[in-house]
Chain A
Amino acid sequence: MNTDLSATPQAPATDADVLLRVENLVKYFPVQSTRLIQRQRDMVHAVDGVSLEVRSGETLGLVGETGCGKSTLARCIMRLYEITSGRIVFDGQDISKLSVRRMRPFRRQMQMIFQDPYGSLNPRRRVGSIIGDPYAIHGIASGQERKRLVQEVMELVGLNPEHYNRFPAEFSGGQRQRIGVARALAFRPKLIVCDEPVSALDVSIQAQIINLLADLQAELGLTYIFIAHDLSVVRHVSNSVAVMYLGQISESAPVEQLWGHPRHPYTDALLSAVPIPNPDQAARRERIILVGDVPSPISPPSGCRFHPRCPKAGQVCVDDMPALSPRLGDGPDHLAACHFPVEDGEDISKARPTIGAEERIIEPGVVSGS
């Protein structure tokens, strides 16, 4: 499954291109204690030092297992959570610590589409009111004018504008997701963060929504951050992809480079897990099966967080956290955080870790069998 190598390495992003830059974002959640006075708190390391860039007009795919911190990252970017530390620069402006009031004008330029089409719409409000909410909140239009704007955006996403007065319960899942998209589009924002927008939908409806998002991007010049755990979907929609593991980015690259030349063993394992429709091909493929479960984000492993499950782990992986940087001569856009990156054509299912089972700490105090 080798893609052609004629894709030219992309030039480093100039500041003019970059719509969103995240620098060293950290988000910890305190573990709720039942004591009246909390002392030494455990923290859930939901996002632990993430840096990324999104260029205007492009789609950044963000993939990872459940619990890796992608949704938390999305909500941090949207300032729905207060970040613990780090910087978020949107359109050249630092929005990391803005107050609610100062943040409001930015909310017209960055919006979010949620995963659950059933939960993200208020069941007791009519659809026209839901989609018109942004206008009402920001005091833009009212009455007939607002209705006109709402119906315009309903048509834009493929909804019948006459259904303005219906309740969400009267729509199908795919239509509800369109309502969510319509609500996000009210101000024609620059950036839309899509938090698993198609995960809850049937495959056929997924195709419709993905096509809708693609059309809207072409039409309105939108920039997307597309979070998903379905790699095929991500490959289809993204220009570049970042892979997250346990709150950190393990690899990020332009999409075909990631598929063609994965550097991080985790990426390699993920790609090997993507189902292949052709049963003969699937039988021939060597699956890379990772041992063990994702460690707890409350006490992540030392050094490289992936080392307890990595087929190529060495002692340096336990001691030093690898930096996210180009490996094996890749261009400046292809970054991986790995001491033993995967070479082209290497089959890591045949690799054996060079540290003993005792050193591979999966859970604190629990030793894995390899």
Chain B
Amino acid sequence: MSLNPGDVGAGSVHYPLADQIGGLLPAAPVAEGAAARKIEGRSPWRLAVERIRRDRASMISLGVIVVIVLVAILAPVIAAVIGHGVNQQFRTTGLTAVGQPVGPDSTFWFGTDDQGRDILVRIAYGTRISLFVGVIATAITIAIGAVVGLAAGYFGKLVDTLLARLMDLLLAFPFLLLAIALVSVFQPGLTVIIVVIGVVSWASVGRIVRGQVLSIREKEYIEAARALGAGPWRIMFIDILPNLIAPIIVYASLLIPLTIVFEASLAFVGLGVPPPTADWGKMISDASQYYANGAWWFLVFPSLALLITTLAFNILGDGVRDAFDPRGDQLFV
């Protein structure tokens, strides 16, 4: 007959509902009770968060990013406080007698650009473009890549062959050239840029997701889901996708700075958001001719802005990856 080892432990809980089911005596879990309830399990997410909080570099980067985000949000406030509009040209105070940009002084803390506009204010507004494009384009990239990767990995056979070859094809193109071609065709604009960057970059995410799915697909819990009668889409999004969240987050945090630079590169070659919108890449591009004439501030400050932003996201991305995978071997199945 049934052994009931749980009866031996102190404080074994009595389950009234179980009694109603005809006197089945379950082997009660050992010593559950009020004391055990206080011991809360820590989910993998909490562990990751605790790890990243201990990483000084990541926390500093996070702080920097917070500042950058605040600057982006408060750009109009900054402009109002300083008293200079973002596209306001100061032809008298902002340009020298011969029409050259004015260096950093008490009025223009970062100097002016070739049209007499306040560089500080323009950098603040440029933050908006960079962050907006960076985050949204990354989101699109991840979305497309994850869905395609899931489908390719799970369905296998013909679907996988087609999609995998498509990804290989896309990866064979140099990103920037492809983006330049597409943006030229569709005329530069904020939406076009975001969509083009998303469409050009998704293949690398798709590849990684596909690889993960191929190994997760063989796990027993997927077999169990099929035995329960789950359909393929349910298995993909409810069973497989949660196991991909960690690698996806890591990849996203490393992808954002890439996207920001990508957008700046497009602007640098003249395919960014149309002027007069403030944009770091455009500013760097415009500044290159003035650098030789001694207007170093025009080049240096936007470059620094780009550098600091990218660096902060990169360091945070590394920290996120280490937080999820401290031993460096568990993240990718």
Task: Answer yes or no: B11 CB below 8 A from chain A CBs.
Answer: no
Distance A166 CA – B32 CA, assembled complex (angstroms): 15
Instruction: Annotate A105-118 by CB proximity to B: 1 below 8 A, 0 otherwise.
Output: 00110011011100
Task: Answer yes or no: A82 CB below 8 A from chain B CBs.
Answer: no
Task: Answer yes or no: A167 CB below 8 A from chain B CBs.
Answer: yes
Instruction: Annotate A195-218 by CB proximity to B: 1 below 8 A, 0 otherwise.
Output: 000000000100110011011100
Interface residues of A in 50-94 (CB under 8 A from B): 75, 78, 80
Instruction: Annotate B210-228 by CB proximity to A: 1 below 8 A, 0 otherwise.
Output: 0000000001110111111
Task: Answer yes or no: B230 CB below 8 A from chain A CBs.
Answer: yes
* CB < 8 Å neighbour of B5 from A103, A107, A208: A208
* CB < 8 Å neighbour of A114 from B13, B43, B220, B245: B220
Task: Answer yes or no: A348 CB below 8 A from chain B CBs.
Answer: no
* In the complex, chain B residues whose CB is within 8 Å of the CB of A104: 229
For chain A, the count of residues having a C-beta within 8 Å of the partner chain is: 50
Q: Which label, helix, strand, loop or mixed, suits the secondary structure of the A interface?
A: helix
* In the complex, chain A residues whose CB is within 8 Å of the CB of B239: 122, 125
Task: Answer yes or no: B49 CB below 8 A from chain A CBs.
Answer: no
Distance A332 CA – B223 CA, assembled complex (angstroms): 36
Given contact pairs A112-B227, A137-B229, A167-B43, A156 touches B245 in the complex (Cβ within 8 A): no
* In the complex, chain A residues whose CB is within 8 Å of the CB of B15: 155, 161
Are B3 and A122 interface neighbours, CB within 8 A? no
* CB < 8 Å neighbour of B230 from A112, A133, A175, A207: A133
* CB < 8 Å neighbour of B219 from A108, A119, A211: A119
Given contact pairs A114-B223, A207-B3, A175 touches B29 in the complex (Cβ within 8 A): yes
Task: Answer yes or no: B27 CB below 8 A from chain A CBs.
Answer: yes
Distance A162 CA – B28 CA, assembled complex (angstroms): 13
Cβ distance B146 to chain A, nearest Cβ, rounded Å: 15
* CB < 8 Å neighbour of A152 from B17, B25, B229: B17
* CB < 8 Å neighbour of B18 from A107, A108, A122, A156: A156
Are A157 and B243 interface neighbours, CB within 8 A? no
Task: Answer yes or no: B106 CB below 8 A from chain A CBs.
Answer: no
Task: Answer yes or no: B231 CB below 8 A from chain A CBs.
Answer: yes
Task: Answer yes or no: A120 CB below 8 A from chain B CBs.
Answer: yes
Given contact pairs A80-B226, A125-B242, A138-B229, A160 touches B17 in the complex (Cβ within 8 A): no
Are B223 and A116 interface neighbours, CB within 8 A? no
Which chain A residue lies CB-closest to B18?
A155
* CB < 8 Å neighbour of B27 from A125, A156, A169, A212: A212
Task: Answer yes or no: A123 CB below 8 A from chain B CBs.
Answer: yes
* In the complex, chain B residues whose CB is within 8 Å of the CB of A207: 3
Are B17 and A107 interface neighbours, CB within 8 A? no
Given contact pairs A159-B29, A170-B41, A124 touches B245 in the complex (Cβ within 8 A): yes
* In the complex, chain B residues whose CB is within 8 Å of the CB of A215: 2, 24-25
Cβ distance A162 to chain B, nearest Cβ, rounded Å: 8
Distance A114 CA – B224 CA, assembled complex (angstroms): 8
Distance A307 CA – B26 CA, assembled complex (angstroms): 47
Are A155 and B227 interface neighbours, CB within 8 A? no
Task: Answer yes or no: A128 CB below 8 A from chain B CBs.
Answer: no
Are B228 and A124 interface neighbours, CB within 8 A? no
Cβ distance A168 to chain B, nearest Cβ, rounded Å: 9
Task: Answer yes or no: B234 CB below 8 A from chain A CBs.
Answer: yes
Task: Answer yes or no: A30 CB below 8 A from chain B CBs.
Answer: no
Task: Answer yes or no: B158 CB below 8 A from chain A CBs.
Answer: no
A-B contact pairs, 12 of them (CB 8 A): A78-B227, A114-B224, A116-B220, A121-B224, A122-B239, A125-B239, A151-B17, A158-B27, A167-B44, A169-B44, A211-B3, A216-B24
Chain A residues in contact with chain B, CB under 8 A? 75, 78, 80, 100, 103-104, 107-108, 111-112, 114-116, 119-125, 133-134, 137-138, 151-152, 155-162, 166-167, 169-170, 175, 180, 183, 204, 207-208, 211-212, 214-216, 219
The 10 closest A-B pairs by CB, nearest first: A158-B26, A124-B242, A107-B229, A170-B41, A119-B220, A120-B220, A122-B221, A211-B2, A104-B229, A155-B18
